[in-house]
Structure 1
C-alpha cells in the first residue's frame, strides 16, 4: 500500500504553504534557467541545477549526458539544499514535471526519502491557478542529511544489461522520447538518430492530458498495463535521451500504482555514442 501519491495538486500545495517542514524546489532547465528563476518562481522555492546538482557530467560516451552523481555526493547536496528526514519536498519545473522535476523526484526516492512529490502542471499551471509568485532568491538552512543507505535504492541497468535486453524477447526496452526521435526522423541533441533494438515507443507526452496535467491513475494504468502483463518488471527498462525525461514516465507509473521498473540513465546519449 502506497503511503503518498507522488503527484501533488496546486490547491493542495497552497494549503501546505505555511508548513515549516515544506521544501519547494524549482528545477527548470536550459541555458537561462537560473536567470528565469530569479525573474519569477513559486514563493519560497529554491533553484536546483540539473547539471551541477543532479548529475556529474564528464564524457557522454560513458554514462550519457546526465549521469547520476556519486551517491555520497548527492546526499551532501540534499543537506546543502536544506532537506532533512522530516522535510516534505515538492518539486516543479516549467515542463509539466517532464524534465528535471521527475529526475529529482526519482533521485530522492532512490536515496530513501519518502516524503517527496512533483507539482502537477508545473510552473505554468500554478501561475494560472494564481499560486503566489516571487522574484526573491531563496534558500533553506543547511542540514546534515544522513541516509539509511549507501547506494541508490531504485532499480537501474547499465549499457551491458541493455545490450543483453536488446537481444532478449523476454525483455522490453521502453523509449519515452517523442516518436520522431524514436523513428530516427529527427535527432536535435545526440549525434546519431534512431533507437535501441527491441525498444518500444511510449512517448512521455502520453502521460499528460491536453492541459499538461498528469492523466488520472486509472487512465495511466490502462496505458501501461499491457507492459506489466506481458513482461516481468525486472525485464522492463525505461530510457530517454539522457536519463532525465524517462523519470517522468517512472513517476507516471508510480502514480498509477505500478512498481517502478529499471531506469537506464545512460539512455540514447550513451548508447548512440558506442557504435552499437
Structure 2
C-alpha cells in the first residue's frame, strides 16, 4: 500500500494494474477550465479527471469558504464513479507540486481510504522523463465506495476559535508570507490571518522542480514549527482548504501523523466579521 508519495517509475510499472486508479487533478484558480483542458490534450494513460470545484468541493454559500468539503454521501458517489473501492490503490497527480492532488489525497484518507498517494513531481516530472501519455478521456466502470469517516481529522470554525487561547495547540497557515501578513489578498474579502497562527508556505515543502523535500529535512522543518507540541494538536488551514492539505501530506511523509484540517480555512473565517483577524506589523 502506498500512502503518501509515489515515484513516476513505480506508477509507470503499474499502468496496466487494474487495481490502481489514477486521477488527474490539474487546476488553476485563475482559470478553472485550464486543468480539464490540459487533461483532454494529454494525460497519464488510464487517468480520470477530478475538477476541484465540481468533484472535490461542495457548494459555496458565501459563509462556508470557497472550496467547502462535499457531504460524505456526495464524496462516496464521486469516488465510486472514479472506480475506487476498498481494494483500490489510488494515485493522484497535478501539474508538479501536488497542491491539488493533495486535496484528493486528504479527502480519501478522511473517508477511511488509506491506499492513496500523490505522484511526486506531477506530470511535469513524468513529461521530463518522456513517459507515455494519451489523449482519450478515461471513464472506469463505477463501483460502490463506502466511507468510513475519521471526523477527528477535521475541525470547524468554532473549534478553531476555541483554540485561540489554548497554548497547548498550534495553528498553521499554508498561504504565502505576504497573504499571511495581510499585505495582499487576491482571493478573499479580508486580508490577514487567524490570530496566533504560524506561517509555513506550502511551497517550502518542495524543491524547485516540484518534488517533495526528503522526509528527514521535512521532519526538521515541522519539528521546529511544532515546538514539542504533538502533531495531533496542530490545525492546518490556508485560503480555502486546498494547500493546507499539502502541509498535511508533507507532515505525513515526514512521519508526523495526526494533524487536522480546518477545511473552511481563511475564506470561511473572514466571511464572519465577528471573528478576529490578525495582521503582521511591518
Global fold match (TM > 0.5): yes
Runs of 4+ in 1 over 3 A off after TM superposition: 151-154
For 1:245 and 1:101, the matched residues in 2 are separated by 10
Report the counterpart of residue 104 of structure 2 in structure 1: 104
For 1:144 and 1:265, the matched residues in 2 are separated by 25
**CA-to-aligned-CA distance 1:180-208 (integer Å, 9 cap, x gap):** 11111111111111111001001111100
Taking structure 1 as reference, are residues 115 and 5 closer, same or farther at Cα in structure 2, changes over 3 Å only?
A: closer
Report the counterpart of residue 50 of structure 2 in structure 1: 48
SS of 2:162's equivalent in the other structure is: helix
Any conservation in 2 of the 1:96–1:123 contact (CA below 8 Å)? no
Report the counterpart of residue 65 of structure 1 in structure 2: 66
Report the counterpart of residue 36 of structure 2 in structure 1: 34
Report the counterpart of residue 121 of structure 2 in structure 1: 121
Report the counterpart of residue 189 of structure 2 in structure 1: 191
Worse overlay, 68-77 or 239-248: 68-77
Report the counterpart of residue 142 of structure 1 in structure 2: 142
For 2:93 and 2:189, the matched residues in 1 are separated by 29
Aligned counterparts, 1:161-180, within 5 A: 161-180=159-178
Any conservation in 1 of the 2:44–2:134 contact (CA below 8 Å)? yes
For 2:226 and 2:190, the matched residues in 1 are separated by 30
Any conservation in 2 of the 1:173–1:198 contact (CA below 8 Å)? yes
Report the counterpart of residue 279 of structure 2 in structure 1: none
For 2:104 and 2:10, the matched residues in 1 are separated by 20
For 1:137 and 1:76, the matched residues in 2 are separated by 20
SS of 1:273's equivalent in the other structure is: coil
For 1:191 and 1:233, the matched residues in 2 are separated by 31
SS of 1:117's equivalent in the other structure is: strand
Taking structure 1 as reference, are residues 272 and 95 closer, same or farther at Cα in structure 2, changes over 3 Å only?
A: farther
Cα distance, 1:68 vs structure 2: 0.8
**CA-to-aligned-CA distance 1:22-80 (integer Å, 9 cap, x gap):** 1110011132222221012111110111112111122131x211111111211111111
SS of 2:271's equivalent in the other structure is: helix
Taking structure 1 as reference, are residues 210 and 58 closer, same or farther at Cα in structure 2, changes over 3 Å only?
A: closer
Report the counterpart of residue 219 of structure 1 in structure 2: 217
Aligned CA RMSD, in angstroms, stands at 1.5
Cα distance, 1:226 vs structure 2: 2.6
Any conservation in 1 of the 2:232–2:257 contact (CA below 8 Å)? no
Cα distance, 1:5 vs structure 2: 4.3
Any conservation in 2 of the 1:112–1:153 contact (CA below 8 Å)? no
Worse overlay, 240-249 or 203-212: 203-212
**CA-to-aligned-CA distance 1:222-254 (integer Å, 9 cap, x gap):** 110134442233431100000011001100111
For 2:142 and 2:88, the matched residues in 1 are separated by 12
Which among 222, 242, 264 is matched to residue 266 of structure 1? Answer: 264
Q: TM-score, normalised by structure 2?
A: 0.91
